[in-house]
C-alpha cells in the first residue's frame, strides 16, 4: 500500500471514530490482501481501480454480505 493510501485510510478511520458507532469503516485493503487480490493486476490493472468484472466479483464475494451484516447490526445508540 502506498504511503498516500495509508494516510488516506488513517484519516478515514479517524473521522469515523470521531463520528461514533453510527459510522462503519470497511477495511477493503485487508480483504484484498487476505484473498490475494492486492497485487493482482487482473483485478486492478492500474493498481487502483477495479475492472468491471472484478467489481462484480467483489460485490458478490464480500461487499454484499458486509453491507447486509452492517445494516442488521444493532445500533449502539
Sign (positive or negative) of CA dihedral 27, 20, 12, 6:
negative
Residue ranges of the chain with per-residue pLDDT less than 70? 1-2, 4-7, 76-77
- Report residue 5 CA to chain centroid gap: 12
Report domain extents, the chain: 3-72
Spatial separation of the C-alpha atoms in residues 20 and 59, rounded to whole Å: 26
Does the pTM exceed 0.75? Answer: no
Residue-level pLDDT at 33 = 92
The cell numbers describing 37, all together, are 487480490
Amino acid at each position: 500500500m502506498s504511503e498516500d493510501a495509508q494516510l488516506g485510510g488513517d484519516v478515514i478511520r479517524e473521522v469515523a471514530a470521531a463520528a461514533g458507532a453510527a459510522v462503519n469503516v470497511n477495511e477493503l485493503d485487508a480483504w484484498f490482501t487476505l484473498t490475494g487480490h492486492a497485487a493482482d493486476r487482473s483485478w486492478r490493472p492500474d493498481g487502483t481501480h477495479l475492472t468491471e468484472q472484478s467489481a462484480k466479483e467483489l460485490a458478490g464475494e464480500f461487499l454484499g454480505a458486509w453491507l447486509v451484516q452492517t445494516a442488521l447490526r444493532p445500533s449502539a445508540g
